[in-house]
Amino acid sequence: MNHIVTVQDAVTAFEPWMEPTDAELDAIEHEMPVILADVELLDAHIVTLDRTPTELDDRRIRRARRRALAARVALVNRAAGTSLPGGAA
Cβ contact 34:68 at 8 Å: yes
Among the listed residues 72, 5, 1, 60, the one whose alpha carbon sits nearest the alpha carbon of residue 36: 72
pLDDT on residue 8? 58
Q: What angle do CA 62, 57, 73 make, to 5 degrees?
A: 20
pLDDT on residue 3? 64
Intervals of the chain under pLDDT 70 = 1-16, 82-89
pLDDT on residue 36? 97
